[in-house]
Amino acid sequence: MKPWSKIQPALVATGFAQGLVMGLTWATVAPFLKSLGFTGSMYGLYGGLNVLTLAVVTLAAGPLSDRLGGKLVGFIGAVIVGFGFMVLSMGSVCCAYAAALINGVGGGLLFTSTTVLVSRSGSDELMHYRFSYFAASQTLGGGFGSFLGWLPVYASRYTGLIEAYSYTLAGAGILSVIASPLILLVQEEYTKLTGGRILSGYRGLGAFWWIVLINGLIGFAAAMSIHNIDYYFTAKYHVNSGMLGSVFGLEQLLMAGLMLWMPSLSDRVGGPLKLYLAVSLSSIPLLVLITLTDNYLIASSLFVTRSVLMNVANPLFTSFALSLVSPEKRGVASGLMSLSWTLPGGFGRMVGGYLFDLDLELPLRLTALLYTVSLVLLGELFCRSRRIVGKNGSGVTAC
């Protein structure tokens, strides 16, 4: 069976479109805000506001996906995200902070509902394939979008650089709105969760709560440095959006190819979580090495390799986590996964931004330490057990 036959084409198209928008904005936002005079603390506040808002919205996004369906909630989220980037393109400090809040609302709806939708768009037996293939399509789009970071650089020959960044962000926002109907074409199979209060679905999740706690620690660690890495490279090496986009684009394209291979490899080595732990732990020394060089080519090469190793197996981790939960509660479970990542991440971005102003290398080194603690704890909790039995009585292979 060909890889893409295990996932709906509409889901592949949705992932690619989302990735295209994310890649283009990821390459552009930090240089744009730096050009507006943002310091590390201001950039950390921008990211913190975005992520904390996303975390609050996530509390409702999961239960809403269980009641309204993931694709409807995702469609609304994509439209709001597009509007947020249009506001950001206006080019003032106030608009930037307003956009952070707007994109937090849209992102909270979009990313949580998309996770739910992937889990419900086919059989559970192939769920780790769907998550990996969806992530591959999203990552492929992110790669192309990141390389488009050269657009404002070349456009600045005819306009000012700030204006070129502004037009690019506005275009990304329009693209998000135009592509939003794609998600409505996905066939979603689920039993509508009815009755009780909107948060009642958070009860009875069993071993999944351990995933939530560990995911929060990893999220805080990642936000301190990796989520601010665009500012780190901009501040340390004075790079533009094209140079950043090339780094992120190469990273995304490499991951897109490798993600297609991950599900079958996990079947061979003993399970999704075991492969996730092995690959992720191997990335940590490279994060420390980034702080020990003053050469952008070396640092960016280390970053690409580190990011591929740390993230290529993430879909397997998500698949494993949701396999611990019954299908009708995967909305609230996805919401908890997102909340446990984004809420600590919001504080992490602000802490990391502040630490950048004190010592540019310190956040990366602290991230490496927290990653190590988190992944070792995850292995201790799950990989020593051959099976985990959730509260619903279903056995799930842990490693």
pLDDT digits (tens, 9 = 90+) for 66-90: 778 888 999 999 999 999 999 999 9
Residue 218 CA to residue 223 CA, distance in Å, equals 9
Cβ neighbours of 5 (radius 10 Å)? 10
Residue 260 CA to residue 285 CA, distance in Å, equals 25
Q: What pLDDT does residue 398 have? A: 43
Q: What pLDDT does residue 1 have? A: 45
Lowest mean pLDDT across 97-101, 222-226, 343-347? 343-347
- The answer to whether 123 and 215 have CB atoms below 8 angstroms apart is no
Q: What pLDDT does residue 301 have? A: 92
Q: What pLDDT does residue 397 have? A: 43
pTM of full prediction above 0.75: no
Q: What pLDDT does residue 386 have? A: 45
Higher-scoring residue by pLDDT: 103, 196: 103
Q: Tell me whether residue 175 is in a domain.
A: yes
- Decide if pLDDT at 192 tops 70: no
Quote the mean pLDDT of the chain: 82
Give residue 31's domain range.
7-187+201-397
Q: What pLDDT does residue 205 have? A: 65
pLDDT tens digits along 340-382: 887 787 788 888 888 888 888 999 999 999 999 988 888 777 6
Q: What pLDDT does residue 395 have? A: 42
Q: Tell me whether residue 353 is in a domain.
A: yes
Share of the chain above pLDDT 70, in %: 89
pLDDT tens digits along 109-153: 998 888 888 888 777 677 778 888 888 888 888 888 888 888 888
Q: What pLDDT does residue 84 have? A: 94
Residue 307 CA to residue 282 CA, distance in Å, equals 11
Cα distances from 35 to residues 24, 155, 169, 181, 231, in angstroms, run 17, 16, 14, 34, 11
Residue 64 CA to residue 87 CA, distance in Å, equals 26
The string of DSSP letters for 277-325 reads HHHHHTTHHHHHHHTT---HHHHHHHHHHHHHHHHTTHHHHHHHHHHTS
Domain count along the chain: 1
Q: Tell me whether residue 354 is in a domain.
A: yes
pLDDT tens digits along 234-262: 888 888 777 877 887 888 788 887 887 88
When pLDDT is cut at 50, 70 and 90, the band that residue 190 belongs to is low
When pLDDT is cut at 50, 70 and 90, the band that residue 388 belongs to is very low
Q: Tell me whether residue 355 is in a domain.
A: yes
When pLDDT is cut at 50, 70 and 90, the band that residue 391 belongs to is very low
- Decide if pLDDT at 295 tops 70: yes
Q: The domain that contains 50 carries what CATH number?
A: 1.20.1250.20
Mean local confidence (pLDDT), 286-304: 92
- The answer to whether 353 and 276 have CB atoms below 8 angstroms apart is no
When pLDDT is cut at 50, 70 and 90, the band that residue 202 belongs to is low
Q: Tell me whether residue 161 is in a domain.
A: yes
pLDDT tens digits along 146-163: 888 888 888 888 888 889
Q: Tell me whether residue 193 is in a domain.
A: no
Q: What pLDDT does residue 94 have? A: 92
Q: Tell me whether residue 159 is in a domain.
A: yes
Q: Tell me whether residue 1 is in a domain.
A: no
